[in-house]
Structure 1
Amino acid sequence: MSPPPPPLGRSRRRAAAQALDAALDDTELLAARAALAQGRWQAARGLLAQTGDDWDRRGHRVAVLALEPYCAAWAQDWLGVEPDSGDAAVLLALAEVRRVLRGKGKPDRAREACRAAAALAPADPTPWLGLLMLEHAGATGEEVLRLFGEVRARYADHHHAHHLIVARLAETRAEAGPDPLHEVYDFANWAAEQAPADSPLAILPVVAHAERYRVLAAAGHEPGDPAASGHWVGRRARQVMKAAFDWWLEWEHEGHPRRLVDLNFLAHAKVCEGRGAEAAALFHRIGEHATPAPWSYPDRDPYSAFRAARDSALGTA
């Protein structure tokens, strides 16, 4: 296990919080969240109405708004004013899920809220995303895959849902050690092949590789420093990284709400692979928008790991 990082000063903590903000670069979401934190849910109402059935963006925005500590109370107020609002119901549902994940809510209450939201908005995959987030660690594999199927039935290329499934699959058979034929790789390759040519799910095999490293390192099968691991330098790994980087060069999606999640995974992989120039190109696109995963893998401070990797790649260390 690597030693803990030194404590951050106040200005560095503020910078880390801004860099690791789940809202990423969505300025409209940032404004709506700030209003919601003050109890003004009307901004969230307008934001979700504007988002419509852009399902990846809707899932991202609802999941981030739901992180606000008092979101459940404000969503309940909104639902009291508009009891038939699917937007209010799904925001309440994911807020209850977030409360459970923070150890403060009741799982049955969150499940009930998700089912109520699904009834009000049957075409929306977001309530099912909430259930998938809730059951990610505790439910049986069959139940998790059933919920994933409910998401895909409404939107087959759902970005967040695919990431959750990859993280869950990567955790199977950790005790067996490295396995190039592990099912998480098969799933990620299948999902990437099934998706349209311009889909960011093309990056999913890279995500699978990082998630599997997280699990193997935690089990003691890989070193705690990912750059010191051979996990990214085998022939198969290099093929996966090259295919994903080539896809990014051809199809870069500046408008996808979670593209910075993919770019962080891809930059991390390029750093671990020792491809500094390619990593630098990705860091230029990422800017300050770091994501906790995969920079925290297996037990690192994500902001410090991101800054060190970025500075090295950009030649400013």
Structure 2
Amino acid sequence: MTPPPPLGRPRSKDTITFDPALGDGELATVRDALARGRWTEARQLLTDTGDDWDRRGHRLVVLAEGRSSAAWAREWQLAEPDSADAAALLACATVLLAVRGRERPDAARAQCLLAARMAPADPSPWLAVLILASRTGSDDERVRAFDQVRARHRDHHHAHHLMAACLAEHQEGDRDDPLHEVYDFAAWAAEQAPADSPLAVLPVIAHTERYRVLARAGLESRDAERSGHWTTRRARQVMKAAFDWWLEWDVDDETAATHPRRKIDLNYLAHAKLCEGRTAEAAALLTRIGPHATRAPWEYPDRDPARAFLAARRAALGSA
């Protein structure tokens, strides 16, 4: 699973910052070391990660985001040409360069396929292909990359979120379609996932991504609390089901630290409660989350639930 949302280092109580490490302290330390050219620490981190595919994918992507990550990955690969970890890191770094327009997409994809051949069971190179296809590829390329990821790790969190975001972009007409394919995809993935999987809340992410697309197109209010999208019967039912699923979690404190429900995207559920006017429940969730929302693709653009809650609380205190 991806790590819990970050504790972060806010500059002030009203300023929300995002750390791509998402609270993974080891990753943050190794990322800083890699930026200084110390790739041996990245090698050890990825070795220790093993076949925890969700965590491995997240760590590779974060390590690859550095401005000099591709250069250091190449140096690592020169020193250890048979290292699948070095190849995977270089693949992710090259993809991110291509996404930024600093590398050719075909070169990035070739690097991903090389990494995939070196570690056939690892979904991470295919996750990199999916990231590339989500920005530069066709629908068919995205589906093929997603299928390759899912063939290796059926419940890959990041890959499902990326596909939901891509499918949500499909828009015909001047309103939302309650039978939109992203809703079907999310419902299918949630039904296929184990009972304790974070993918149980993917239908909430689907509604969130659709709202993002509709608001950007001017088809919904950019103020989510006033948007009709969130007051439709289906959206409210989906939010309630996901929130109730999370509330049913009843484990001891020791288990809670590693339980999958600790690692779901609570920001979406908190936002759902804010949209429904249930601020007490939203406050309870936001207390668990801490002051930081989750980073893209799980970040909620233009409407951060923690910021909204802080603003509402300040307003309530001011009128008291």
Q: TM-score range by the shorter chain?
A: 0.7 to 0.9
Q: TM-score, normalised by structure 2?
A: 0.87
| Residue 307 (1) aligns with residue 307 (2) | yes
Contact 1:57-1:256 within 8 A present in 2 as well: no
Q: What is the CA deviation profile of residues 221-247 of structure 1, one whole-angstrom value per residue up to 9, with x for unaligned ones? A: 101111110211222111111111122
Q: What is the CA deviation profile of residues 9-56 of structure 1, one whole-angstrom value per residue up to 9, with x for unaligned ones? A: x9459954xx31111111111111111111111111111000000000
Letter in 1 for 2:287: H
Distance 1:104 1:176, change over 3 A: same
Q: What pairs up with 1:135-174 in 2 under 5 angstroms? A: 135-174=133-172
For 1:111 and 1:258, the matched residues in 2 are separated by 34
Letter in 1 for 2:274: V
Q: TM-score, normalised by structure 1?
A: 0.88
Moved more, 266-275 or 51-60: 266-275
Alignment match, 1:268: 271
For 2:185 and 2:133, the matched residues in 1 are separated by 19
Alignment match, 1:90: 88
Alignment match, 1:228: 226
Moved more, 210-219 or 229-238: 229-238
Moved more, 133-142 or 198-207: 133-142
Distance 1:171 1:254, change over 3 A: farther
| Residue 48 (1) aligns with residue 51 (2) | no
For 1:116 and 1:262, the matched residues in 2 are separated by 33
For 1:13 and 1:64, the matched residues in 2 are separated by 26
Deviation at 1:250, TM superposition (A): 2.9
Contact 2:198-2:263 within 8 A present in 1 as well: no
Letter in 2 for 1:137: R
Deviation at 1:199, TM superposition (A): 0.4
Unaligned runs of 5+ in 1: 1-9
Q: What is the CA deviation profile of residues 243-291 of structure 1, one whole-angstrom value per residue up to 9, with x for unaligned ones? A: 1112222348643799666112222222222221221121111113322
Distance 1:203 1:181, change over 3 A: same
Contact 2:64-2:96 within 8 A present in 1 as well: yes
Alignment match, 2:285: 282
Deviation at 1:92, TM superposition (A): 0.6
| Alignment match of 1:131 (pick from 129, 132, 139) | 129
How many pairs are equivalent?
302
For 2:24 and 2:110, the matched residues in 1 are separated by 30
Q: What pairs up with 1:1-317 in 2 under 5 angstroms? A: 11=11, 16=16, 19-251=17-249, 254-255=257-258, 262-293=265-296, 296-297=300-301, 300=302, 306-312=306-312
Deviation at 1:173, TM superposition (A): 2.1
Q: What is the CA deviation profile of residues 79-113 of structure 1, one whole-angstrom value per residue up to 9, with x for unaligned ones? A: 11111111111011000111112222221221111
Contact 1:148-1:161 within 8 A present in 2 as well: yes
For 1:169 and 1:87, the matched residues in 2 are separated by 30
* Percent identity (aligned): 59
